[in-house]
Amino acid sequence: MKVLLVHNFYGSAAPSGENQVFEAEKALLETRGHEVAVFTRHSDEIRCQGAWGTLRGALATAWNPWMVSAIRQKLGGFRPDVVHVHNTFPLISPAIFPAIGGSAARVLTLHNYRIFCPAAIPMRAGQVCTECLDRHSVWPAIRYGCYRNSRAATLPLALGVGLHRALGTWREEVDAFIALTIFQRERLCAAGLPADRVHVKPNFFPGEPAVRTWEERAPYAVFVGRLSAEKGVRDLLRAWQCWGSSAPELRLVGDGELRAELTRMASGLPVRFFGQLDAAAAQEQIAGARLLVLPSVCYEGFPMVVREAFAFGTPVAASDLGPLPTIVGHGGSGLVFPPGAPESIFRVVRAAWEEPNMLERLGRGARVEFEARYTEGTNYARLMDIYQSAIHVSQSRRAQVGP
């Protein structure tokens, strides 16, 4: 099979799980003998241009005619069976879907909620907000300035969402969507996606990493992610404040706008800040931990750190919000606690930490979950099923149009 992978890489200063998924699926296809080509752009192209770059990105978000020409040229030279798109924001734009037309099956992975939510993450003022999805309208986002707390910054994204709703891009120009979880599928189908074309395929972890014995692990918990409000890191630090100096060591891997505030909150506590690490170093921290904590207060897609934790047999404690409680089975592969509730995080984590062998048992459950759901073999089989479905839909469309 010939597959063209399409992706707009986010800025290099902000590592992205979407970028990791793109690279992992590219390698997955190549190692199994498929002919793979890529069509990519990088947000660094506009970030280095200052105000002009910002304007250029805003103008390109909804409909980029230069990308229409470029993708047609790529199609003519490569002639793929499937075009699999991961991210079009901000430079590529959804205009490529009608440009591809019937020349190949079109697949879109839904890494977030951007096709209906201008902010991509359904969250406002520190709380989950699904007004744009529920009302099938972008007016709430414009009213509240949901993207970067700015109406001016939100407007071009909102116009893009509204434009492609009106044009029927998602109904008529995509042959298969990939949602990362059942929860995300249900939310986006309710918001307007055609349910018969939305498939569920989670992220995977390549290879079969070794699992460290419990005796080899140091007694620490770890958080890996951006130090930002939607990740709930303030609540995590407040939970450790409740615990006090008797708490186990908490390691924070990642960086973000809350770093200075969190450093002040951690004063006198067993908390270490590791900053931004490369993927291998971050995975080393997860593999050696006795617990990964994910206190998100937003709807996650499918957090990359969860599949890493499961692969290394590290249990996960996560917020009871969005898809997380169905990914992290309470008492099976991890623990769940109410979102935005530091005292609950403290109680749940401390009880598990202090009960003999409980975390070790949950860690074994995490590895079982990985082997059942998140290996590259399982993921590859699911991806091929989705590609074949997309090809069938594309061929049916062409048959209806006729010669």
The CA distance from 174 to 136, in Å, is: 19
Phi, psi of 251 (to 5 degrees): -105, 130
pLDDT tens for 210-256 read 999 999 999 999 999 999 999 999 999 999 999 998 999 999 999 99
Listed in order, strand segments (DSSP E) in 201-263 are 220-224, 249-253
The CA distance from 331 to 30, in Å, is: 38
pLDDT over threshold 90, residue 125: no
Residue 54 — very low, low, confident or very high, per pLDDT cuts 50/70/90? low
Do the domains 2-111+168-204+376-401 and 214-373 sit in the same CATH topology, yes or no?
yes
Closest Cα partner for 258 from 225, 234, 276, 222? Answer: 234
Rounded to two decimals, what is the model's pTM?
Answer: 0.94
Average pLDDT score over the chain: 94
- CATH number of this structure's domain 214-373: 3.40.50.2000
Q: What topology does CATH give the domain 2-111+168-204+376-401? A: Rossmann fold (3.40.50)
State mean pLDDT over 287-308: 96
Residue keyed to tokens 């014995």? 213
pLDDT tens for 329-351 read 999 999 999 999 999 999 999 99
pLDDT at res. 44 = 81
Domain ranges of the chain: 2-111+168-204+376-401, 214-373
pLDDT tens for 244-290 read 989 999 999 999 999 999 999 999 999 999 999 999 999 999 999 99
